[in-house]
Amino acid sequence: MEALVAAAVIPYVGCLSNRCPVEIESTVNYLRWPLVPALSLSLFFLISLKLCVQGVFFWYSAHFNQRIQRNTLDRLLESYLHLDWSKFRSENRTHYLRRCTHTAIEASSASIHCLALLSSSFTLIFLATLMAWQYPLASIPLALGFLALNSLTQRVLGRKQKHSSIIREDALRHWNVGITETFASFREIRVFGLERFFLDRLETNVGMFAKANAMLNFYPVLPRLIIDFSVLGILLLTVSIWMLLKNPAGELLPQLIFYAVVARSILPAMMNILSARSALIAALYNVELVLQELEDAAIARIERIAVISSVSDAPAFCLEKVTFGHTPVLPLLLNGADLRVAHPSWLAIIGPSGAGKSTLMELLCGVHRPHKGRIVHYWPLPGAIGGPAVAYLPQNVALLDDTVMQNVVFGFDDGDPDRVDDALRIACLKDTVDALPRGRMEQAGADAIRLSGGQRQRLALARALYRYPDLLLLDEATSGLDEATEKMLFTSLRRERPRMTVVYITHRTNNLEFADRVVRIHNGKVEELAERSATHDFS
């Protein structure tokens, strides 16, 4: 449409100079319209149509950019949620948040810049050809000037743009980590009065980010300022020289109109090309980051966390000669360890901090894979048909900023109220939830802030029980409970789910009475301490 408007200006200028094409003049005379007003009205209509078409194009391009952004975000999230646990925790959580927000948005903007670059390039080529056809002597220096400016932009601004992008990304990474640590330490900061210390700690990265961001916003504008200045200078210089030569001003008017209308189309195209190229350099750096992230995630991808399931009439959960360590430089946590947990039964695991108790839990549910040996779930049905259902409660559980019911259901199904109530009752939380204004539909708040620490642990336990697991792994999941509540909870679990195997880590000797067996992790081995029938009355 820009090209069509520019092409329509040529006969319009010719009519103003008394060189109107015969076809146009005869058509206007046949319609009995005044020549110049009719042509002006036609040109105005064409410009209006061009604006409408441009509006539709911009609307579709904006939606296209959103689809690119959504696709980028979906691919990143899908890759992250299939990472191996060791790979996932090798990065700070803010790294994934930053990649899924800032990096994904900046990378998706490359599509808009590419569209702008292509459309502006086509427009510029057509208009430059049109101008060269009409006024070749004036067009050549303009073309050379634009090419020189374009080369200068690429050589100078391109390098600065990418350098600023790298600085901004690094500053943003440090700032995100710092702000996350600051918010996580909120209570200690207030108690110790360390507000100024943490603000000063963040100030450097905030300053670097702000400076880099300012430069990234300024560089795309700089070519526009140069072009505006150049065009205005050329226009004033041309008029001044024309008048100094004492040429008639009327002869200059059609040429000025031609350049004014064409410049109305060609200048934005030139500016868009230079600005889009400058912005595209910054966006492409984020594209590189996203592609590298997807490539790294593909290497560490695991489709499903699962443990080998082997058919057996004697169901059990076993470690067989398992060796595992988190990193090559640290000592092995387990070294040829063996363990067999018969189903159903209760097993208590004790040992000093750092001995590998939590690691053993993560191996049993498939979060970790052993370096040597194997983890096997012996089950009457093969894994492809119906292996054992496993539920795992880590020490720190993430709860949703949603209702109590949704925290229990946690995406397992659409939500069965009776099943939720049953899980809450076994977790000894039913009376507490019923006392809330909206019961199970009450909002729990951010990270279930409206519940106490012990209530949060029991809510997480209800989430696990909702799935009717065959194997329940509790990694100090009752540490926030007093002894009386813990005893009541364990009693409820043994009474209500007698066919469930429970493996729990504890530092309390009083709850060992619920275990059928007690083992200790020591020097990378699993040592048997006791094997007995639980002594507590569960009736």
pLDDT tens sequence across 22-70: 666 677 676 677 776 777 777 777 777 877 877 787 777 777 778 888 8
How far apart CA 396 and CA 410 sit, in angstroms, is: 16
Class of CATH domain 308-531: alpha beta
Q: Which residue has the higher pLDDT, 282 or 378?
A: 378
Q: Which residue has the higher pLDDT, 478 or 251?
A: 478
Residue 414, SS3? coil
* Structure confidence at residue 337 (pLDDT): 93
* Structure confidence at residue 37 (pLDDT): 75
- DSSP conformation class of 440: G
How far apart CA 502 and CA 251 sit, in angstroms, is: 97
Report the 10 Å Cβ neighbour count for 189.
17
Is residue 241 within 8 A of residue 203, CB to CB? The reply is no
* Structure confidence at residue 454 (pLDDT): 87
Across 89-93, 177-181, 226-230, 506-510, least confident range: 226-230
Which residue, 1, 269, 236, 232, is CA-closest to 150?
A: 269
Rg of the Cα atoms in the chain: 36
pLDDT tens sequence across 347-397: 999 998 888 999 999 999 988 889 999 999 999 876 555 689 999 998 888
Report the 10 Å Cβ neighbour count for 414.
6
How far apart CA 399 and CA 458 sit, in angstroms, is: 11
pLDDT range class, residue 331, cuts 50, 70, 90 = confident
pLDDT range class, residue 179, cuts 50, 70, 90 = confident
Q: Which residues pair with 501 in a beta bridge?
A: 471
Q: Residues of 266-289 as b/e, b for ≥16 C-beta within 10 angstroms?
A: bbbbbbbbbbbbbbbbbbbbbbeb
CATH architecture for residues 2-299: Up-down Bundle (1.20)
How far apart CA 47 and CA 334 sit, in angstroms, is: 76
Q: Quick one: 455 exposed, middle or buried, by C-beta within 10 A (0-12, 13-18, 19+)?
A: buried
Identity (one letter) of the amino acid at 46?
A: L
Does this model's pTM top 0.75?
no
> What is the mean predicted confidence (pLDDT) over 331-359?
92
- DSSP conformation class of 155: I
Identify the residue whose tokens are 């959960």: 317
How far apart CA 314 and CA 231 sit, in angstroms, is: 87
Domain(s) labelled CATH 3.40.50.300 in the chain stretch across 308-531
pLDDT range class, residue 184, cuts 50, 70, 90 = confident
pLDDT range class, residue 426, cuts 50, 70, 90 = very high
* Structure confidence at residue 263 (pLDDT): 59
The values of phi and psi at residue 244, to 5°, are: -65, -30
> What is the mean predicted confidence (pLDDT) over 166-179?
79
The values of phi and psi at residue 522, to 5°, are: -150, 125
Helix (H) / strand (E) element for 529: namely: strand 525-531
* Structure confidence at residue 83 (pLDDT): 87
Q: Which long-range contacts (CB under 8 A, 24 or more apart) does 204-212 make?
A: 205/171, 205/172, 205/174, 205/175, 205/178, 206/171, 206/175, 208/167, 208/168, 208/170, 208/171, 209/168, 209/171, 209/172, 209/175, 211/167, 212/164, 212/165, 212/167, 212/168, 212/171
> What is the mean predicted confidence (pLDDT) over 153-178?
75
* Structure confidence at residue 220 (pLDDT): 66
